[in-house]
Structure 1
């Protein structure tokens, strides 16, 4: 598993992914922080910041929809990338009750404002 995970370094302002990109990786912030935003590079509407120890990028993987926002490094940042296939394999091996819980959470998030797309909400 460790061989599949990749450490990536980002400089301030470097784009991690753009809104509309496929959800092909989950990210863990090892050091630094990442800004999640919509809009343009010149006119960003910041939705949140993910700091060391935080995860992001999971919703596009779980709901199998394109990225709903962009992400860029707020400063010098080290990320650990996990391929979407690895996350899906891990979930598929999980207890069926846990999978049902995850699917329920995705469905509730989608109903609460459409912020995570209009997929079927299935992992």
Structure 2
């Protein structure tokens, strides 16, 4: 298998914007779960849920060859080519209020969402 080199783009266009609150919570999760500093935050979408698509948040050891990779808020973010269309312009926030605690995707591409807020459609 050949070697793959991934370039982290410092000035890359943000596909997903992280709020400072989301970045703090992601860093806290990495630390609490002993995830190495070198691991990237993977953002994406996959088929599923009431409305057709669900969000993916994960940590990856290495970005894939066709990922867009950029750094924001002290985190390396990688997004696969397919997910870029669905996530373009999205803001990832973190909420800790009366309605619950968790990450919130504010996605201008979403034309519908399910009642529970865990999936969306375009």
TM-score, normalized by length of structure 2?
A: 0.27
The structure with the largest strand share of the pair is 2
